[in-house]
A = this chain, B = another copy of it.
Amino acid sequence: MNLKAPNPVLQALGRPLRLGVVGGGGASFIGPIHRAAAVLDGRFQVVAGVPSSHTDKGRAQGAAIGLDPSRTYASMAEMVAAEATRPAGDGIEAVAIMTPNDLHYDQCVMALQAGLHVVCDKPMVNDSAQARALADLVRSTGLAFCLTHNYSGYPMVRQARAMVEAGVLGALRIVQVDYFQSGMALPVEQGTLTDRQRWKLDAQRSGPSLVLGDIGTHAHQLACFVTNGQVTQVSADVGAVVPGRVVDDYAAILWRFDHGARGACVVTQAAAGAENNLTLRVYGEKGMLEWQHAAPNYLRHAPQGAPVQVLGRGDPWLDARALGCIRVSRGHPEGFTEAFANLYAEFAEAILASRAGTPLAAPWFPTVEDGLHGIRFVEAAVQSSRQSGAWAPCTG
């Protein structure tokens, strides 16, 4: 992918791809990000949507985001059916799913079966059986599927991956990820819940472990992406640090990777005082890399036996795969939305490839297989924690 090159969608199709959105209306946090990310590079336009499952509310929310009333739907099923009847070259070609976790599976299946490409918010689904089924379906359809673990879209994260691949660190030894948030630091259960809080606090909807699904899968995918590896087993302590809480808000995990590294991963949504503090450190035999989300435009590289380097987004000596996903030149900060948009930009290329019958072999956006690995990681951590920290496998 090279964002400085001519827009391949405009070149191939003469206009942006047509996207339908499911969820993300009203006060949604992630909805505006998906929509901004989709359109930022002129590769998608949002032409239809299901902003809310409540009809009247959905209509108002659709108008608020500029949707045509005639293409604002009350359900995924309605959208899929109605869009399929539009004239050739007018109906949606892809859907973006940003609904509560327990709805993802059915909606993904519905979209894929209708021949639509899918971008799905994380966590992909709530158990590994669904994940395997979904992976099979994606493979069999040949459609493009992107899971929005957006942290891997940051240019300096991609630079880290490229450096690891190039052997800059040598054999990997230790991988550390900390992800500390404060959204659940207060006992929110004791107050009036927002819609979002209500389904998050309902384990039937949010999945086997709230904190692991919400941010543990981000931490896991980030570590796997950068080190180009898989976690094979974990020893974990999972639970709640806020008294009286019945969902998980804390997980500390010791992990081992197929590339031989080990390390620790700590995630919590109950870290009073935290912002959205995600830190990755990778150590190999020749040095280390550190990336912090609070300063995403920089990557620290400390080689053994040579001066520490601070690499900046846009530096001309970066790897082409990092430079390819940069919009604004060095010294001009980019942020969360641009990282998210990088997933969409490459997803657009995957759609073109799928249309051409030559699916992308190894895209850098998170795939359905990454989603499967993520849910297996969650399940293994929960299992280990229940068994006094005994190492549990998370592959297979």
Interface SS majority for chain A: loop
Closest partner residue, chain B, to A36 (CB atom): B40
Do the beta carbons of A276 and B331 come within 8 Å of each other? yes
User: Contact partner of A7 among B16, B64, B243, CB < 8 A?
Assistant: B64
Q: Which of A250, A273, A275, A283 has the most CB of B within 10 A?
A: A273
> Whose C-beta in chain B lies nearest to the C-beta of A316?
B305
Q: Which of A137-145, A292-300, A356-364 contacts B (4 or more CB under 8 A)?
A: A292-300
Kindly state the separation between the CA atoms of A10 and B64 in the bound complex, as whole angstroms. 7
A353 interfacial contact with B, CB 8 Å? no
A332-353 vs B: 1/0 string, CB under 8 Å? 1111111000000000000000
Shortest Cβ distance from A42 into B: residue: B66
Given A241-B173, A337-B328, A390-B388, also A308-B306 (CB < 8 A)? no
**Chain B residue at minimum C-beta to C-beta distance from A335:** B333
Given contacts A10-B64, A64-B7, A308-B312, contact A263 B266 (CB under 8 A): yes
Residues of B within 8 A of A306 (CB): 317
Residue-wise, chain A 294-326 has the 8 Å CB interface mask toward B (1 for contact) of 111100011110111111100101000000000
- Please, how many residues of chain A have a CB less than 8 angstroms from a CB on the other chain? 91
**How far is B330's CA from A338's CA once the two chains are assembled, in angstroms?**
16
Contacting pair B333 A293 (CB below 8 A): yes
Q: Which of A6, A63, A295, A307 has the most CB of B within 10 A?
A: A307
Interface string of A273-298 (1 = CB under 8 A from B): 11111000001111110000111110
